[in-house]
Amino acid sequence: NAGVTQTPKFRVLKTGQSMTLLCAQDMNHEYMYWYRQDPGMGLRLIHYSVGEGTTAKGEVPDGYNVSRLKKQNFLLGLESAAPSQTSVYFCASSYSDEQYFGPGTRLTVT
Amino acid sequence: SQQGEEDPQALSIQEGENATMNCSYKTSINNLQWYRQNSGRGLVHLILIRSNEREKHSGRLRVTLDTSKKSSSLLITASRAADTASYFCATDGPLNNNAGNMLTFGGGTRLMVKP
């Protein structure tokens, strides 16, 4: 099993550009999450999903949108990137209490 | 704001010594988890302790939970250079609405174990 995978691993955007980050899991987990991690800080929840076709806002949802059209995939979109969205983005999935994390996407917005 | 706060923010020890990290949180919880993050990698689950438990062991790891003080500690015994990483506590409150197992993470403790 690959576990949780994220694409791309790195990306540089100019202010105002858009992009989509893809998260895929092969563990048949119901729950999926998107976090951002800023230097020297813990993870903050952006959006989450409790099942296919459902999404909900987390702690810091502004500037992001998500979709969960298939159970195994959770997409994070930035419609108009801002320098404040420079961060490392982590996806995670779970079926109970423990969360399984992907390797992260390092995004720089200039 | 973050639910959990780790202390210390950074810790440097020699191989073979024990490392203790503390976590404090603000609201009631169902469980508390500890995760490890190696540099440039995703988080890996280490151990979970439920609110009705006071102590739990897993290999060289020992976790305690004091719900009256809203605090937890993670002890790594006989540390190794490979234990060098950041360690985060995570609680299932205050965002959790029992519909997603959401976690709130602290800022982490950066542990360096010198050979």
- Please state the rounded mean pLDDT for residues B91-101: 61
Cα separation, B34 vs B90, whole angstroms: 6
Indicate whether A2 pLDDT > 90. no
Question: For residue A53, which amino acid is it?
Answer: G
CB nearest B43 (choices: A94, A96, A101) = A101
Indicate whether B96 pLDDT > 80. no
Q: Please count the other Cβ atoms lying within 10 Å of the Cβ belonging to residue A81.
A: 21
Q: Which two tokens stand for residue A68?
A: 């969960």
Percent above pLDDT 70 for chain B: 90
- Please state the rounded mean pLDDT for residues A92-106: 94
Residue with tokens 């985060």: B88
Contact B105 A100 (CB under 8 A): no
What pLDDT is attached to residue A90? 97
- Please state the rounded mean pLDDT for residues B6-26: 95
Question: pLDDT-derived band of residue B100, with 50, 70 and 90 as boundaries?
Answer: low
Indicate whether B99 pLDDT > 80. no
Q: Which residues of chain A lie closer than 8 angstroms to B43, CB-CB?
A: 43, 90, 92, 99, 101
Indicate whether B4 pLDDT > 80. no
Q: Which residues of chain B lie closer than 8 angstroms to A32, CB-CB?
A: none
Q: Which residues of chain A lie closer than 8 angstroms to B92, CB-CB?
A: 97
What pLDDT is attached to residue B97? 52
Q: Please count the other Cβ atoms lying within 10 Å of the Cβ belonging to residue B72.
A: 25
Instruction: Please check whether residue A94 is in contact with residue A101, taking contact to mean a CB–CB distance below 8 angstroms.
Output: no
Q: What contacts B52, CB < 8 A, 6 or more positions away?
A: none
What pLDDT is attached to residue B6? 87
Percent above pLDDT 70 for chain A: 100
Lowest mean pLDDT among A1-5, A15-19, A59-63, B109-113: A1-5
Using one digit for the tens of pLDDT, what is the confidence trace for B27-70? 888 899 999 999 989 999 999 999 999 999 999 999 999 999 99
Cα separation, A70 vs B27, whole angstroms: 34
Contact B107 A45 (CB under 8 A): no
The CA distance from A4 to the nearest CA of chain B, in Å, is 10
Contact A59 B101 (CB under 8 A): no
Using one digit for the tens of pLDDT, what is the confidence trace for A48-86? 999 999 999 999 999 999 999 999 999 999 999 999 999
Give the Å distances, CA to CA, from B108 to A24, A39, A42, A76: 26, 11, 6, 25
Contact A42 B107 (CB under 8 A): yes
CB nearest B101 (choices: A31, A44, A56) = A31
- Please state the rounded mean pLDDT for residues A24-29: 97
Q: Write down the mean pLDDT value for chain B.
A: 90
